[in-house]
Structures are given as structure tokens and as C-alpha cells.
Amino acid sequence: MLTLSKAEKTKNTKTIRQMLDYNSLSVKSKHNLLRTAAAIGIGLSVALVLILLTAKNPGQAVKYFLAAPFMSKAYFSHLIEVIIPLLFTGSAVCIMFSANQFNLGLEGSFYLGGLIAAVSGIYLVTDVPFISPLVGILLGGIVGAIITMIPALLQYKWNANVLVSSLMMNYICLYVGLFLLFHYFKDPASSQHSYPIGDAAALTSFFKGTKIHSGIIIAALVTVFSYLLLYRTKTGYSLRATGQNPIFAKYSGLNVGALAVFSQIIGGFIGGMGGAVQMLGLYERFQWVDLTNFGWDGVTIAIFAKNNPKYLPLATLFIAYFRTGAWVMSFKAGVQIDLVSVFEGIMVLFLLAERFLAGTYKKMVFEDADRKRKEREALENNMDKEGAQA
Amino acid sequence: MKDFLVMENITKVYDNGVMANDNVCFSAEKGEIHAICGENGAGKSTLMKLLFGVEQPNQGRIIIRGEEVKLTSPLKAIEMGIGMVYQHFVLVPSLTIAENVMLGIEPKKGILFDKDKAVELTRAICEKYNFDIDPLAKIEDISVGVKQKVEIIKALIRGAEILILDEPTAVLTPQETKELFEQLKLLREAGHTIIFISHKLNEVKYLCDRVTIIRHGRTMGTHNVADVTEADISRLMVGADVELTISKTEAKPKDAVLRVKNLVTYNELGKKTLNGVSFTVREGEILGIAGVEGNGQRALINMITGFGEGGSGEVSINGKDIRSLNIKQLRQEGLVHVPEDRNVMGVAKNMSIRENLIADKINLPKYNKKLTLNDDAIDEDTQQWIKDFDVVCSGSEQPVGMLSGGNVQKVVVARELTSYTKLIVCDQPTRGIDVGATEFIRKRLVQKRDEGNAVLLVSADLGEVMNLSDKLIVMYGGEIVAYFPDVTDITEEDLGFYMLGIKKMTAEEIGGAYVE
């Protein structure tokens, strides 16, 4: 009977260790799914309870809330309409948050992006097909980029907290916009609408009887671009490294400050484009007298998508689906549309709460490790036996 | 007393899935010094965190004085008479010793802090256990050795009968270590139980009654120290005979690579952190820097690696002044840097091994196509490095945060040493990692030296600096206080005197460190 030499034994244990390497990645993704499901479940339950409490005909209300997009072409069209701006601001936030830059100036970018696109369509290039919308959207992007760049530079140069200054920036944008609207662009025949935007500047509709416009293609392209930028280029790599650990990024030789500013310029550009597309796709005249809220929605969407544009289609579809439901429910069953904000807010809270279901996670990790321990022990026993037989 | 302290079938799994303790059993008696030995990452510290209530076990029981207890927090553990002295002290620098000792249990006069009483109580406990310290001294003014005593007093005054010391000698000079041991023996005589965590076997042999050995999270048995040799313990710890002293040939130094001349720096408060430091490191040699932490090493490393600002003096690589270069430019000059704290600076934990390995090379043409990254080239090289540097992982896409400390450090070293290198700056390259990884990294450094690189090595591990260095300088108070052109015949004791600032070489001797 031969026994294994010591060196061989050590080597064997090592291979076993490598084979059963303590890798709990799968546990983590499982737990993430569970967390997301739980957050959605809690959000939905609260929403349903609120519907039951406030609706005159709860059964009908719930039906609209859960299935509206399938109930008519107009409702489905609304779903797509909601998705378009969310893809823009969602992409923008994904890029900025990936670099850990909490610039919240997208409201301003989106608003002024819309305004400048309208102005372009009213005064600058009013009647050249293709070129008119293109110019409008590019101008929107440029203005949007300037809006987020200002707080970014203030932070870079003078260490002014970007969160605060970008929030302030939004109001500056709104009031500058309102001033311009009421003093220069307002059609005297209307109370708050601008002169009409040239027909050629509008984005074309795809299907008769719906408002689905070619902006969806631009939105899809922007989403793909954002993903490729973040995950397939050296710039994107550098942005993410900066976001994950700025000290590490600096140590690796990356220009952390410039990258931070750059991420916000790109984000603002996409946000401004989103505003322009929204304006040229849906409106005949500029008429926004308040911020659109799409900037904030971008944050919600990015949280759902874990700052990865890859998940934006799913995340925007999810949000847009229930928004459409809430919208239909509001005029069909008389339930306040704000309900959907409660629903979204609750889900975001639970998704952001890092310790949410932490106990379950600990248990899952332990069970996984315990299982591996048993497998390893079985394997070791087998090896000993084999060694003994040999 | 039987069942004074029993930890039974303890299993602990951390959130990243690492099973740090696997069915561990441990017991200690009243009035003994019990060593827990095991290499870094074996699970010693985890076991002690469970005993001090910092972490809770997934399975197993803890029994103190015959009763099962649930230690849900350190407060609970303190109530049960357990005290812990961490390797990194938790003291308020601006307060006095007495104030630190009384923090949280302040004696009061009405609603006010009774300072005199605090001093009196501190003094009393110092006398009782024969500690020679001044309760009125401020923490910021005292040495590391005294700070450690303060930590021990803090535990004692809270009624600790079981005292856990986590690698207490790692931060001490040989002289301070000796003093600590005398103190611990006195405490044992007074009936205290001391749990002494260490991997310095000669210390275990000298001081302890029994030793429990942990390996890969499992207990390898408890022995009377008198019955086992250091070699026995080492074998149980590592599973094989490991020679940690790396053999190397004599250095063949050539041209100077790094030159530091009259470097003076200040901290934010305007206090001098470096005071006229000058030295040279040449191709093909390793210059070691010994010294108690906080004597200017940080500032020096920062100035060389592009993290320092201000100050005066010269720093040059290959004759080129580098004071105004940014880190990217420094790396182009051939500087690579293994930072002191791998988790803070060395890696981005949530990013994959692959992404961490490529961090400093992301802009190289080799890894880029026209617009996008060249994933094939990156994959090919990173896979190869993972193999070459023996990083144990499930694949290159695994997040670095899921790896053990030793493997994280191998990722850092792999990235740095696979770059263009002329000057390798290593700050604590093997701190807190297992012997296998330590041996591996040390060998790589020597190999890099033999390939003609200049290596600057800062380490708190005296064994490491003395083994690896070809030349050695000692830093104290922001200055070089000793320079040894030949490392072979110095002892740790000798170094200790310089590290404590008791001795200082003449300016002429120290000047030898700088070569024109």
C-alpha cells in the first residue's frame, strides 16, 4: 500500500481549493435578483393597496394599472413616448454616475436643450428636411453639455460641491428659459406658447394615429453608444475606474479631474439631445413652463439599470409600462396619477438600501460555503481512498 | 479552571464567501498565555473578532466561565471581561493618557468630567500592574510602545480578565518587545488569561504556555509550547517547510536611477515631515528603508511616486527631475509602485481582475483598436499574468474584492511588474498576506533587481528589509539616522536603537547613502 507523498498531498489540496474556489459571485447575483424582486413586490403591493383604498371601482383600476399598454394602440404609443426621453436621461446618468459624479443638472440640460431646438426650428433652420432636426438636436446637445459642464468645472477648479451647484443650475436654466420664452419667443396669440416650429424641423412619425417618432431610433443609438463608450473603450474604462476608486485611478496614471469633467460634459450633451428630441418629436410649439422631471427620472432609471446602459431598455420599459398604466387609470378610473411616483419611490428606496435583506444574504453565502465545504470534504475523502488503493 | 473560555465548532463565513473559520475549536485556561499561530489569512483574527463580539459566528458556541454566551457586540464582550488590543491603536491623539483610558467610563463630579479622579484612577491601575507611564502625557507625544501600554490599561480598567493581543509586536522595536513581554508575564501571574496572536514563532516559544495552530481556517491542534519546536509549529501552520529567507546573489549595482537630495517636506500643519533626506538607488540593487511607521516614510514615498506636493529638494529618475511630472509621465519614466494599502490605492475592488491588471496600460496602442479596446490582446496578456503570478481565482472576470489578501497583492504586483520598469517602489509589499504569496513576491523582487532595476523597499517587517536589501537606511523623525552599505552583519537589536532614535550615525556615515 502506497501513501501519497507530502508534496503530492499539498498539491492535491491546492487543486481542490482551486476547483472549489470560494467564489460567491453567483450568490451575489441571485441575491440581487431577489432584492430587486422584493423591492418591486413591495412597491406593487403598496400601489395596489392605495388603488383599492382610493378607486371607486378598484377592479377596473387595477386592470388599467397592470395591463393598459395592451389595451389600445394609443396606450401602447404612450408607452413608447415615455421610453424615449428616459433612454436619453438614463444614458446620461449612467455615464456620470459610473464616474461617480453626482451631477443633477440634467433637468436644466433637458429643458434648455428643448428650448434651443425649438428656437432652431422657429428661426434658424426651419425648412430643410433632415438638416433642420439635426441642427436642432446638435444645438440641444451643446447647450445641455454647457449646463452640466459649469458645475463640473466649478468642482474641478474650486471644489464647489457639484451636487448643490448642479441643482441650483436647474433653476437658473428654468428661469432663463421662461424669460426668453415670454420676452422673445412667445406667440402674442397664445398665453404661453412660442411661435410654431417649422414643419421640416419636426421628427417624423412612424405610424399613423400614434405619436411614435423617429426619436426612438436616436434614443436607441444613444443607448448603444453609451454602453460601448463605458464598456468597450479606454475612455469608458478610465471613467469607470475613476468612479470605482479615484485614488486607484490617479495612482494608475489616469487624469481623474479631467475624466470627471468629461463624463459630465457627455452626460449633459445626451441630456440636451433628449430635450431636443422630445421637443421636436412631440410638440409644435415650445410650451414648457416648468422643468420636465425627465432629469430626475434618469436617476431612477440608472438606479434600476445599476449604471449600466445595457440594462436601460429593460429598466425604461418597466417604468414606462407602469406610468402608462397609471396614466390610463387616472382618466379611466379616477385614481391620482401621482400614485406611480409613490410606487417608483418605494422601489428606489429599497434598491438603494444597502442593508436591505442583508440577513438573507449572509444566510445564502453561508449555505453556499457550507455546501462547498461538504463537496470538498467528500473530494478529499475520495482522494485519500484512491491514494490508499494506489 | 476548566471551561474558563471555550469556543466550540465555530464556523464563520464572510460576505464575500470566504470561510474564515471552519469548525474551529479553541479553549484557554485562567492564568495562561495562549498563542494562536497561523499565517496571514488563516483565520486567527476572525476567531478573535468573534470572541470580542465584532463579528458573529454562523455556527458554534462560545462558553465563558462555564456558561454559554452570545457576544453580539464588543460592549457585551467587555461585560464578560474580555479586552482587545488591536494592532492599529484606537486612541485620541489630542487627549491625555488618562482621558483616553477613561473614555466612555468617565468619573464625574456632578455633571462634569472629574479630571483629577481620572488621573488618580489611571495612576492606581498603572501602579497595580507596574506600568511606568505618565497619565498626563498626551497621546500624540508618546511612542508606539507606550501607546500599546495605554491600550492594555484601557482593557484592564474595564475589568478584562481575558486579554486579546493581535500581533502586538508587529509595531514594536526589539527593545519595546522585551518590555512588553515582562509586562505580560506579570499579568499572567495576576491571574489574567492572555491570548497572543502572532506568527513570530521565537516570540511564541519564549513567552507562551500553550499554542493553538490554525491553518486555512481550521484548527491543527493545541500543544504545550514546551513539547514542540519552532519547526513543528511552522510545519503545522504552513503544511510544508517554507524558507522565507530568499537566497540571492550579491548585487551588481550600475548607474544611479533614483536620486533624492536634501528633500524637505511639510504636512498640512506646517510641521516638517522630511528633513533633508538624501540617498541614491542604483540599477541592480535593493535599498531598504527601516523605521517605525510615521517617521517620514509616507512623505518620502509620496514625493517619489507623484502624490507629494510642495517642499524643497531634488528628486530625479535617470537624471531627470521628476518633481513636476504627473503620475502618467512618471510611469513612462519606468516608475512602478506597490502601494502600502492595496485596498485603498492598489485595486478597484468591484472591478474584475482583468480590469485591475490593465489599469496602468489602458492607453498602450497594443491594447487598443481604432476606437475600442482590443479585448483579445487584453485577454491574452491578463490570462498569462494570472498564470505567471499564480493568482488563485475562478477566472479573470472575478471581482478583485472576492480574492484573499495574498491574491489581491499578487494582482497588484503582477500589474506593476509587467509594466515598463526602471525603478520599483515597494511599500510594505507583503503586509498581511500568506507565506506562499510572500515568498513569491520577494523572489520576484529579487529577480527584478537582477534584471537591472532599482528597487526601493519600505517595510515595517525587519526580517523582510534585512533579507531583501542590499543597502539599508533607517529613518527616524523625518531624517536618515543610519546607513548600512552592507546588510549582512547587522542585527535587529542594532536597528532597534536607531529606529527608536536612541542612536544616530555621524553625518559623514549617513552621507554615504548619496552617491553623485
Structurally, chain A folds into a number of domains equal to 1
Task: Tell me: do B212 and B289 sit in the same domain.
Answer: no
Count of alpha carbons within 13 Å of A333, Cβ hemisphere only?
A: 25
Using CA coordinates, name the residue in chain A closest to B343: A248
pLDDT at A97 over 90: yes
Extract the C-alpha cell encoding B384.
498569462
Cα-trace Rg, chain B: 24
SS3 assignment, position A330: helix
pLDDT at A17 over 80: no
Q: A309 in a domain, yes or no?
A: yes
Which one, of A21, A83, A246, lies nearest residue B18 by Cα? A21
Task: Tell me: do B219 and B300 sit in the same domain.
Answer: no
Q: Is B43 left (phi over 0), alpha (psi -120 to 50) or beta?
A: left
Which one, of A318, A187, A22, lies nearest residue B20 by Cα? A22
Q: Are B496 and B173 in contact (CB under 8 A)?
A: yes
Decide which of B208, B238, B268 is a domain's last residue.
Answer: B238
Using CA coordinates, name the residue in chain B closest to A253: B328
Using CA coordinates, name the residue in chain A closest to B369: A233
Q: A257 in a domain, yes or no?
A: yes
Share of chain B above pLDDT 90, in %: 66
In this predicted structure, what is the pLDDT of residue B1? 55
Nearest to B394 among A13, A23, A233 (CB): A23
A224 touches chain B (CB under 8 A): no
In this predicted structure, what is the pLDDT of residue A1? 36
Q: B384 in a domain, yes or no?
A: no
In this predicted structure, what is the pLDDT of residue A10? 52
A255 touches chain B (CB under 8 A): yes
Task: Tell me: do B227 and B110 sit in the same domain.
Answer: yes
Extract the C-alpha cell encoding B76.
457585551
Extract the C-alpha cell encoding B431.
503586509
SS3 assignment, position A105: coil
Structurally, chain B folds into a number of domains equal to 2
> Who contacts B357 (Cβ-Cβ below 8 Å, separation ≥6)?
B381, B382, B385, B386, B396, B411, B414, B415, B418
Q: Residues B57-85: pLDDT tens digits? A: 999 999 999 999 999 999 999 999 999 99
Q: B299 in a domain, yes or no?
A: yes
What confidence category does residue A91 fall into, taking pLDDT thresholds of 50, 70 and 90?
Answer: very high
Q: Report ipTM for this prediction.
A: 0.84
Task: Tell me: do B195 and B307 sit in the same domain.
Answer: no
Within 8 A of B360 by CB-CB distance, chain A residues are 252-253
pLDDT at A325 over 90: yes
In this predicted structure, what is the pLDDT of residue B463? 87
**φ and ψ of B483, to 5 deg:** -135, 125
Chain B (299-318) residues lying within 8 Å, Cβ to Cβ, of chain A: 305, 307
Which one, of B473, B489, B492, B490, lies nearest residue B481 by Cα? B473
The alpha-carbon gap from A251 to the nearest alpha carbon of chain B, in Å, equals 7
Name residue B69's amino acid: V
- Whole-structure pTM over 0.95, yes or no? no
pLDDT at A20 over 60: no
In this predicted structure, what is the pLDDT of residue A376? 85
Q: Residues B464-516: pLDDT tens digits? A: 999 999 999 999 999 999 999 999 888 888 898 999 888 999 999 999 899 87
- The rounded mean pLDDT for chain B is 91
pLDDT at B2 over 80: no
In this predicted structure, what is the pLDDT of residue B240? 65
Extract the C-alpha cell encoding A366.
453561508
Strands ordered across the beta sheet of B193-198 = B82-85, B162-166, B193-198, B33-37, B210-215, B218-224
SS3 assignment, position B362: coil
What confidence category does residue A22 fall into, taking pLDDT thresholds of 50, 70 and 90?
Answer: very low
Alpha carbon of B280 to those of A2, A297, A375, B199, B479: distances in Å?
57, 58, 55, 34, 15
In this predicted structure, what is the pLDDT of residue A8? 52
Decide which of B185, B214, B238 is a domain's last residue.
Answer: B238
pLDDT at B408 over 90: yes
Task: Please count the other Cβ atoms lying within 10 Å of the Cβ belonging to residue A63.
Answer: 17
CB contact under 8 A, B359 and A23: no
Residue whose entry in the numeric block shows the C-alpha cell 484573499:
B404
Q: Residues B267-289: pLDDT tens digits? A: 888 889 999 999 999 999 999 99
What confidence category does residue A23 fall into, taking pLDDT thresholds of 50, 70 and 90?
Answer: very low
- Most confident by average pLDDT, B107-111, B112-116, B299-303: B299-303
Decide which of B215, B238, B261 is a domain's last residue.
Answer: B238
Q: B207 in a domain, yes or no?
A: yes
Q: Are B272 and B330 in contact (CB under 8 A)?
A: no
CB contact under 8 A, B359 and A252: yes
Chain B (14-33) residues lying within 8 Å, Cβ to Cβ, of chain A: 14-19, 22
Nearest to B363 among A234, A244, A372 (CB): A234
A22 touches chain B (CB under 8 A): yes
b or e along A349-388 (b: 16 or more beta carbons within 10 Å of the residue's beta carbon)? Answer: ebbeeeebbeeebbebbbebbbebbeebeebeeebeeebe
What confidence category does residue B410 fall into, taking pLDDT thresholds of 50, 70 and 90?
Answer: very high
> Directed axis angle between helix A234-244 and helix A215-232, to 10°?
70
CB contact under 8 A, A253 and B327: yes
Task: Tell me: do B323 and B468 sit in the same domain.
Answer: yes
Task: Tell me: do B19 and B108 sit in the same domain.
Answer: yes
SS3 assignment, position A382: helix
pLDDT at B451 over 80: yes
Q: What angle is formed at CA A14 by the lines to CA A8 and CA A19, rounded to 5 degrees?
A: 125
The whole domain housing A99 covers 56-334
CA distance A335 to A351: 26
Q: Residues A116-143: pLDDT tens digits? A: 999 999 999 888 889 999 999 999 999 9
**Kind and range of the H or E run holding B388:** helix B375-388
Work out whether strand B285-290 and strand B454-458 pair parallel, antiparallel, or are unpaired. parallel
What is the maximum span of chain A, computed from C-alpha positions, in angstroms? 104
Q: A372 in a domain, yes or no?
A: no
**φ and ψ of B281, to 5 deg:** -125, 130
In this predicted structure, what is the pLDDT of residue B106? 87
Task: Tell me: do B314 and B203 sit in the same domain.
Answer: no
What is the maximum span of chain B, computed from C-alpha positions, in angstroms? 75
Within 8 A of A24 by CB-CB distance, chain B residues are 16-17, 402
B240 touches chain A (CB under 8 A): yes
In this predicted structure, what is the pLDDT of residue B141? 87
CATH of the domain at A205: 1.10.3470
Q: What angle is formed at CA A291 by the lines to CA A287 and CA A293, rounded to 5 degrees?
A: 120
CB contact under 8 A, A248 and B331: no
More confident residue, B194 or B246: B194
Q: How far apart are the first and last CA of chain B?
A: 67
CA distance B327 to B336: 10
In this predicted structure, what is the pLDDT of residue B12? 94
Q: How far apart are the first and last CA of chain A?
A: 7
CB-based burial label for A15 (10 Å; 0-12, 13-18, 19+): exposed
SS3 assignment, position A109: helix
A374 touches chain B (CB under 8 A): no
Q: A357 in a domain, yes or no?
A: no
- Residues, chain A, total? 390
SS3 assignment, position A70: helix
The whole domain housing B502 covers 244-330+454-516
In this predicted structure, what is the pLDDT of residue A127? 85
Q: Which 8-state DSSP code applies to residue A213?
A: B
CA distance B387 to B446: 19
Task: Tell me: do B23 and B126 sit in the same domain.
Answer: yes
In this predicted structure, what is the pLDDT of residue A260? 96
In this predicted structure, what is the pLDDT of residue A334? 86
CB contact under 8 A, B371 and A233: yes
Q: What is the mean pLDDT of residues A253-281?
A: 97
Task: Tell me: do B93 and B228 sit in the same domain.
Answer: yes
Q: What is the mean pLDDT of residues A236-243?
A: 97
Q: A183 in a domain, yes or no?
A: yes
Within 8 A of B364 by CB-CB distance, chain A residues are none
Chain A (327-366) residues lying within 8 Å, Cβ to Cβ, of chain B: 361-362, 365-366
CB contact under 8 A, B359 and A241: yes
Using CA coordinates, name the residue in chain A closest to B22: A373
Task: Tell me: do B209 and B256 sit in the same domain.
Answer: no
In sign, the C-alpha dihedral spanning A368, A370, A371, A377 is positive
CATH of the domain at B205: 3.40.50.300
CA distance A174 to A267: 19
Q: Residues A190-234: pLDDT tens digits? A: 989 999 999 889 998 877 778 889 999 999 999 999 999 999 999
What confidence category does residue B243 fall into, taking pLDDT thresholds of 50, 70 and 90?
Answer: low
